[in-house]
Amino acid sequence: MFDIAVNLADAQLRPRTEAILSQAWQARVSGLLALGTDLEESQYLFDQRWDSRVHLTAGTHPHYADQFAGGDAFEAMWQDPRCVAIGECGLDYYRMLSDRVTQQQVACVQLDAALRLGKPALMHDREASADLLSLVQARPGLRGVVHCFTGDRIALEGYLNAGLSIGLTAWCLDERRGQSLAAIVPHIPLDRLLIETDSPYLVPRTLKPRPRRNEPAFISHIAIGIAALRGEDPATLIDQTTANARALFQC
């Protein structure tokens, strides 16, 4: 199993990373992406000596677009072989912690870097699908994944037509707010599907007893739930999504 989104630099996980990773390996996680969402987090990740199964990203989340230090501040990390994706980058029009113009400008710098370096972009989209898709379509050849996908069928088809992969979390297993997403999960081609915890966030509500924080060790629970939505064998889904992640991130 490969978890494409773990916020190991988050304050909730930082003090416990050794135990979290140990539990992940015991749960048969074979690899994971540790996400950088701003300059400090990205630098923290690249300053550590991680297990070889931990792969890194570097970038600025749209929430922090107004704090973006510029591409030069990230360039050494982006070129580092340990960096397998640029981001987390993208657009978030739900919380609007940075204005739209700034978000788009910062996203463009990172998408351009991904295209220039031949690395995939790990993208965030919350209620901004049309604008993010336009940025992607303006960059033919851009590879990447829309992670923690929560969009509708129109957004899904747009991203698939643009050649992107789709990352799913436990959101689609949430009986309160994930029903519309659950309905379109079967329409994602298996060879374009990736799975993730987005830990410590999005604790699966179907996990009993329900822990306080999400961890990569719970990725199998999410995979089994997604397989059920799709009417597929969980082992087949796990094998294919693992292969998809390794192919996309070349790790």
Q: Residue 115's domain is classified under what CATH number?
A: 3.20.20.140
pLDDT at 126: 96
CA neighbor of 36 nearest in space, from 25, 46, 22: 46
Residue 63 is assigned to a ligand binding site: no
Residue 131 is predicted with a pLDDT of 98
Burial of 95 (0-12, 13-18, 19+ CB in 10 A): exposed
175 is in an annotated binding site: no
Q: Is the peptide bond before 120 cis (omega within 30 degrees of 0)?
A: no
Note the pLDDT of residue 215.
97
The pLDDT assigned to 15 comes to: 92
Per-residue confidence (pLDDT) for residue 78, from 0 to 100: 98
As for how many domains the chain has, the answer is 1
- The pLDDT assigned to 132 comes to 98
The answer to whether 221 is a known ligand-binding residue is: no
pLDDT tens for the chain, 251 residues long, are 999 999 999 999 999 999 999 999 999 999 999 999 999 999 999 999 999 999 999 999 999 999 999 999 999 999 999 999 999 999 999 999 999 999 999 999 999 999 999 999 999 999 999 999 999 999 999 999 999 999 999 999 999 999 999 999 999 999 898 999 999 999 999 999 999 999 999 999 999 898 999 999 999 999 999 999 999 999 999 999 999 999 999 99
Whole-structure pTM value: 0.97
In which domain, by residue range, is 237 found?
Answer: 2-249
